[in-house]
Amino acid sequence: MKNLILTVIAVCSLNTIQAQDISYKKWVKEAPRLEDSFFTTPKAKEVAETVLLYQQPTGGWPKNINFFQTPDNKEKALEIKNDVNASTIDNGATTTEIIYLSRLYNATHDETYKEAAIRGLDYLFEAQYENGGWPQFYPRPKGYYVQITYNDNAMINVMNLLRDVSNGKSPFTYLPESTRQKAQKAIDKGVECILKTQVKQHGKLTVWCAQHDRETFAPAKARAYELPSLSGAESANIAIYLMQLPNPSAEVIQSIESAVQWFKDSEIKGIKIESFINKDGKKDRRVAPCEDCKPMWARFYELETNRPFFCDRDGIKRYHLSEIGYERRNGYSWLNRSGENVYKEYAQWQKRKAEFNLQMQQNSD
């Protein structure tokens, strides 16, 4: 009876997700949160059929697909499936599907799901550059999509998944030792790439751009409003990832300390983002003064001056949110509190580092 109740709850939960919001964002957000009991239901297999339908010949998946919904037009779905230039790690694509299929395999032991998940992992291994970076899209041949991409945590999402693979963590307990070793090798190369792309400002290590040139490692432009810069959003999760590495090297430690110092130096105090109704009767956003509010960080900082800036689709820097158009003002996260998570992780990391240093000293005595 208990299992029956859990199954009903799982199915009802998914149906609620579909009814409330049919966007792909629900897929990448909710799929990892599904209860284990859901994967024993017929609905789990139904979702998997859609996931398998869209898996591309590369082994990867396209982005912005809501796999909770069966496609109305299968011909269109097959057209998307066969467009290999659409294979990507952007917006949680590919990593979310690998995790889902792995969980379903563990629940059902159906080799179809296992094989598809392994093909997805092979795609991630193949897409990695020799220098350790991952492009946003692979094998798309040109455009900003080929640059090393931290934007929206694309590369860090991959490295988090591979860390679980390497450690044999659920749901990847079924993978052989050879795959775990391959994942660790990819992680090591990825960390080297992170260290090489950390930007120096007047000779001092700071943080990272949202994307970097795949050959020179220099900060690179993406969309018109995403100029070469220091990123207060993407850099947070990069720094946190480095702090979670076991036995960090001296280079990693220096990278972490430099990044944390940059976050301290780059705090924006005394402001908040508030919603209001503008003169056209539309919901809008603006920067407003506030007292005793937590610091914020900008999405973009100038490479030379470290000054926060905003940008519209015309590609022109502006220094006040009100100076860019309504669409970009409200359609992008320009200010955030990502540094808070960096500080929290750093406090824990300092404790781990002290313990590690003590152990190293004891071993040398």
Say if residues 134 and 88 touch (Cβ distance below 8 Å): no
Which of 223, 328, 329, 337 is catalytic? The answer is 223
Measured CA angle at 326 (ends 324, 327), to 5 deg = 100
Looking up tokens 């009876």, which residue turns up?
1
> Is 66 considered catalytic here?
no
Which of 91, 151, 153, 237 is catalytic? The answer is 91
* Helices assigned H by DSSP within 40-94: 42-54, 74-81
> Is 223 considered catalytic here?
yes
Q: Which amino acid is at 148?
A: I
What are the structure tokens assigned to 170, written together?
A: 């659920």
Say if residues 320 and 312 touch (Cβ distance below 8 Å): no
Dihedral class, residue 63 (left if φ above 0, else alpha if ψ from -120 to 50, else beta): beta
What are the structure tokens assigned to 155, written together?
A: 């590369």
Dihedral sign, Cα of residue 90, residue 92, residue 98, residue 101:
negative
| Helix (H), strand (E) at residue 276 | strand 271-277
Q: Annotate 80-139 with DSSP letters as a single string.
A: HHT-GGG-B-GGGTTHHHHHHHHHHHHHH--HHHHHHHHHHHHHHHHHS-TTS--BSBSS
Q: Which of 186, 138, 182, 135 is nearest to 159 (CA)?
A: 186
Which residues carry out catalysis?
91, 223
